[in-house]
Structure 1
Amino acid sequence: MDQLAKFERFRALHEAPGAFVVANAWDAGSARLLTAAGFAALATTSAGYAYAHGLRDSAGALSRRGVLQNAAEIAAATDLPVSADLEDGFGPAPEDCAETLRLALAAGLAGGSIEDATGDSADPIFPFEHAVERVRAAAEAVRGQPFLLTARAENFLWGRPDLDDTIARLQAFADAGADVLFAPGQRDLASIRRVCASVDRPVNVVMGLTGARFTVAELAESGVKRISLGGSLFRAGFGAVQAAARQILTEGRFDYAASAMPDAEVSALMAERRLADRRG
């Protein structure tokens, strides 16, 4: 499926009734697994990508080149639309965000998100007007192209649970050209309902974090359109490996293998590839 067809499918999901879940893959293999599981769309996860490379999920740890290469591999591994976690746009300037969006489009992605977090714990959120200019530049970079821009207001993840400011930012991001709005970290349905009622764009929420656990039906009733999973699926996999390791080392048992996905089933999901020269 080509990029335009993936984009059209992605846009249609945002226009259809109810809510849908976008699963976050961290590499091409997990993209194939989640595609086979039956999800309608995928996203990348900066956390999953970072952890898989032995890094912390932090602003200074991941390069734009690495993140986009990973996202391109995920997009190439599936016929589903893929939206990328593009962090802060990989730079503070509006042009940094614009260039990141142009590169994301070139990588075959159907969408991507830009956040207003600075990565600086002493000053964690970009000033309001600067944050809006960053989103505007990102939107202009992909205007008329097959790409859905998600704008993220990060207050709640950085100890600033200011719902009024969060809503004002999301409204301004929509006016600046964002197609989807996202305020991660909200812990109650009342605030989620208020966000959804205050904006005229589809709203994304993230589930799988510690704390609040709502059902798809509850979120849909609250006005949510898209539900992402962040790095939670990666962490679930790490949790299973950790439990297996503890069983081996503390009990000398290998019962974990009974619940492991059979090799033949995993192999069937993966692409056949033969190298012309395996020595390279």
Structure 2
Amino acid sequence: MASAQFFAEAGHRAVGTTSLGVAAAIGAADEDRETLTATADLVAALRRALPEQPLTCDFEDGYGDSPESVFASVREAFAADPADPAGRLIIDGINIQDSRHALMSEPVVLAAKMAAVKEACPDLFVNARIDTFWLGQDSLGEVLERIDAYADAGADGIFVPGDLDLSTIETITARSRVPVNVLASPRYSRTTLAEAGVARISTGSLLYRAAMSEALRSLAVLADDSPAETENVLSYRAFTELG
């Protein structure tokens, strides 16, 4: 919650949640479909704190197997008013993936889920995450086929996570009819990715993992009998002054 406010104050134009971070915070395993309530609570708190900020969240595989159950989960989690016939939501976008527990689903499965959500919530940005490369399956042809299938089903964006080289990214962006999202890369800058056709860069769980890594490093400094390192650390007052 505080991190989102700091990010917004720093000028970042959108805020997204990570399913890994939410799962870790409640002691659950990522992709176990146990984070729906925690995600809904987090998004509601973010919307109260940042009423004008575009918000998107990681929605795992939709928290269900059928298109109907996925749409029901979206409404349950994000309805501004459950009694509102217009079905307005408090969130601007969701990221929904085509794998669970390292197993890819058939393209038709995610396509049907997205189609159901888009039909009921046409203004919701649905980002279709293709996990082929993420799971170590080096099949660009399959990724391209899934891009077409998900765009045909109404996806507003395509997300292809993995350590992709530029030529692969360029092939993907040239094929996709909708904006392409990739993970922040240790190899390529934002400008380089943009020149390859990327429209959106996701930090995924990077910021959560970076924060945990720095916390562990700070403890290790103390354990080594060294003075605490506080330079470049946000002050206590910075948190108490959050609006």
Whether the TM-score (by the shorter chain) exceeds 0.5 is: yes
Query: What is the aligned partner in structure 1 of residue 42 from structure 2?
Result: 70
Query: What is the aligned partner in structure 2 of residue 8 from structure 1?
Result: none
Q: Residue 112 of structure 1: SS of its match in structure 2?
A: strand
1:31 equivalent to 2:13? Answer no
- Contact 1:68–1:104 (8 Å) recurs in 2: yes
Instruction: For 1:186 and 1:196, locate their aligned partners in 2 and report how far apart those are by CA, in whole Å.
Output: 15
Query: What is the aligned partner in structure 2 of residue 25 from structure 1?
Result: none
1:85 equivalent to 2:67? Answer no
> Where do residues 140-179 of structure 1 align in structure 2 (5 Å cutoff)?
140-143=119-122, 146-179=123-156
> Where do residues 194-273 of structure 1 align in structure 2 (5 Å cutoff)?
194-207=171-184, 212-254=186-228, 256-268=229-241, 270-271=242-243
Instruction: For 1:40 and 1:173, locate their aligned partners in 2 and report how far apart those are by CA, in whole Å.
Output: 26
Shift of 1:160: 1.5
- Contact 1:101–1:141 (8 Å) recurs in 2: no
Q: Residue 230 of structure 1: SS of its match in structure 2?
A: coil
Percent pairwise identity: 30
Query: What is the aligned partner in structure 2 of residue 116 from structure 1?
Result: 98
Larger mean CA deviation between 176-185 and 125-134 belongs to 125-134
Instruction: For 2:163 and 2:221, locate their aligned partners in 1 and report how far apart those are by CA, in whole Å.
Output: 36
Instruction: For 1:74 and 1:241, locate their aligned partners in 2 and report how far apart those are by CA, in whole Å.
Output: 24
Shift of 1:261: 0.8
Larger mean CA deviation between 95-104 and 132-141 belongs to 95-104
Which string of whole-angstrom CA distances, capped at 9 and with x for unpartnered residues, describes residues 249-278 of structure 1?
A: 112421x1233211222222x23xxxxxxx
Instruction: For 1:111 and 1:50, locate their aligned partners in 2 and report how far apart those are by CA, in whole Å.
Output: 19
- Contact 1:102–1:142 (8 Å) recurs in 2: no
1:43 equivalent to 2:22? Answer no
- What is the root-mean-square deviation in Å for CA atoms of aligned residues? 1.7
Q: Which amino acid aligns with 1:248?
A: L
Shift of 1:105: 4.3
The TM-score with structure 1 as length reference comes to 0.78
Point out where structure 2 has 5 or more consecutive residues left out of the alignment.
81-89
Larger RCO (alpha carbons 8 Å, 6+ apart): 1
- Contact 1:167–1:195 (8 Å) recurs in 2: yes
- Contact 2:22–2:38 (8 Å) recurs in 1: no
Instruction: For 1:213 and 1:37, locate their aligned partners in 2 and report how far apart those are by CA, in whole Å.
Output: 24
- Contact 1:153–1:166 (8 Å) recurs in 2: yes
Instruction: For 2:75 and 2:10, locate their aligned partners in 1 and report how far apart those are by CA, in whole Å.
Output: 31
Q: Residue 56 of structure 2: SS of its match in structure 1?
A: strand
Which string of whole-angstrom CA distances, capped at 9 and with x for unpartnered residues, describes residues 186-208 of structure 1?
A: 42111111111001111111115
Tell me which protein shows more helix as a share of its residues. Answer: 1
Q: Which amino acid aligns with 1:217?
A: T
In the superposition, relative to structure 1, how do residues 155 and 43 fare at CA in structure 2: closer, same or farther (>3 Å)?
same
Shift of 1:61: 5.9
Shift of 1:104: 4.7
Q: Residue 83 of structure 1: SS of its match in structure 2?
A: strand
- Contact 1:186–1:192 (8 Å) recurs in 2: no
